[in-house]
Amino acid sequence: MASHRGVIWLRKLGNKDYIIISLALLLLIIILTTFDSSSPPIQSTTPNPPLGKLSLLRNAKSLGAVCLDGSPPGYHFRKGFGSGSRNWLLHIEGGGWCNSIKSCSLRQLTALGSSNFMEHEVPFSGILSEDALQNPDFFNWNKVKIRYCDGASLSGNAESEFHNGTKLFFRGRVIWKAIIDEIMSKGLGTSKQALLSGCSAGGLATLIHCDDFREILPKNVDVKCLADASFFLDESDISGNYTMRSFYRDVVHLQCFFPQEILKNTKTPIFLVNPAYDFWQIQNILSPDASDLYQSWQHCKRNIKNCNPNQLDILHGFRSSLLKAVNEFLNNKDGGVFINSCFIHCQTFMASTWHSPNSPRVNNKTIAEAVGDWYFNRKAVKEIDCPYPCNPTCHNMDFS
């Protein structure tokens, strides 16, 4: 009877209804089947954070600076005030990558590949907040949220847009330059201090463009970069395969994307914020579904509290690999590090994890306090947490 009513309901749908349902199903497929660095569902502690309106890039098509589908890229801007009126904070949105014609074509029907699907207003919270209690060091700065719609951390610059009969534009590097040029005209060019930041794929874009950002601005501007949840490890998964290496190789082949050794070759001061138990890396690098044939990791990678002793040993080994990978960077006198032992991903753009009474702490310091101490040279910051489950302040995600 229920199936009969369903058939009658479907027959009543018009073409527009079918399009809406198809798009919704397509979006669900993208979320479930592609590498996606979407932000964790933690609520902001500010009831009504200010909103930033979407600005689409002027002359985008004539510049060749377009999203995957050819639409103009965009950004959200809120003007600074008071002592921060000549300081600028730019934050690059995250959202995974596409590594094939098929996955990039699917992204064209989402905000991660087309400005046609981008929200017209987004909340500015965490590091983008204008609340001095939530964002003590950067609250009154000019702030820009750069939308991410090229699928390769703003790094591609392929000349031909036709691929296997499909029209795709891989213009991330051109998007980056064009958006920065437009923001320069809004006041970035006369700034006193500037911080480029980003989360996940946006954090990787921050690392890629950090030195370029430094070169664009006058020499007298204090320029630094903050990469959140962007230190993706080249580690084998539970079956011995190098899933992330293979995935990156496909992105490189598709869009001329070269993430290797970026940190070692960057001269501009960088701050790394990273959880030692990054749930995205655990779910997609350490124990991807394709390598978990008997689904023995399903409960563990959805909630770290469900991990058995053997799995925890493997997770601790993953943490050790992270610490080994950043060991050389720890000797960089201009660099900063905040590695907590939380089961989470991005932490800088949400009040609850950036700076609030209940934020994660290492040595009784929030991420915002650590970043502020580093940026303003108040003290050296190399904060590394003890292994899980030692930190009771962590916001550990639960996907079960």
Half-sphere exposure of 229 (CA within 13 A, CB side): 32
Q: Percentage of the chain with pLDDT > 90?
A: 73
pLDDT at residue 125 greater than cutoff 90 = yes
When pLDDT is averaged across residues 134-159 and rounded to a whole number, the result is 94
When pLDDT is averaged across residues 34-62 and rounded to a whole number, the result is 70
Provide the mean pLDDT of the chain: 86
Pairwise CA distance, residues 135 & 239, whole Å:
42
CA angle 255, 349, 212 (to 5 degrees): 45
Our separate counts of H helices and E strands in the chain read: 13, 12
Question: Within 10 Å of residue 172's Cβ, how many Cβ atoms?
Answer: 29
> What is the model's pLDDT at position 252?
63
Contacts of 153 (CB under 8 A, 6+ apart): 97, 172, 201, 202, 204, 205, 208, 257, 259
> What is the model's pLDDT at position 36?
40
For residue 358 the two structure tokens come to: 């209940």
When pLDDT is averaged across residues 46-60 and rounded to a whole number, the result is 90
Residues marked active site are found at 200, 278, 345
For residue 96 the two structure tokens come to: 């995974």
When pLDDT is averaged across residues 307-326 and rounded to a whole number, the result is 96
> What is the model's pLDDT at position 164?
67
Strand partners, 339: 274, 384
For residue 188 the two structure tokens come to: 């970035």
Instruction: Please state the φ and ψ torsions of residue 236, each to the nearest 5 degrees.
Output: -75, 155
Question: pLDDT, tens digit, for every residue of 263-280?
Answer: 888 999 999 999 999 999
Better-predicted residue by pLDDT, 100 or 367: 367
Instruction: Please state the φ and ψ torsions of residue 342, each to the nearest 5 degrees.
Output: -110, 150
The lowest-confidence range among 9-13, 279-283, 314-318 is 9-13
Better-predicted residue by pLDDT, 253 or 107: 107
What confidence tier does 9 reach under pLDDT thresholds 50, 70, 90?
very low
pLDDT at residue 344 greater than cutoff 50 = yes
> What is the model's pLDDT at position 205?
95
In terms of Cβ atoms closer than 10 Å to its own Cβ (0-12, 13-18, 19+), residue 4 is exposed
pLDDT at residue 44 greater than cutoff 70 = no
The lowest-confidence range among 24-38, 156-170, 172-186, 327-341 is 24-38
Q: Which domains does the chain have, with CATH numbers?
A: 34-384 (3.40.50)
Question: What does the longest C-alpha to C-alpha distance in the chain come to?
Answer: 73
The lowest-confidence range among 5-19, 57-71, 118-132, 277-291 is 5-19
Pairwise CA distance, residues 326 & 264, whole Å:
10
C-alpha distance from residue 210 to each of 60, 70, 197, 224, 246 (Å): 23, 26, 9, 8, 25
> What is the model's pLDDT at position 105?
94
Residue with token string 């073409």: 15
Task: Name the packing angle between helices 172-185 and 201-216 (round to 10°).
Answer: 50
pTM: 0.86
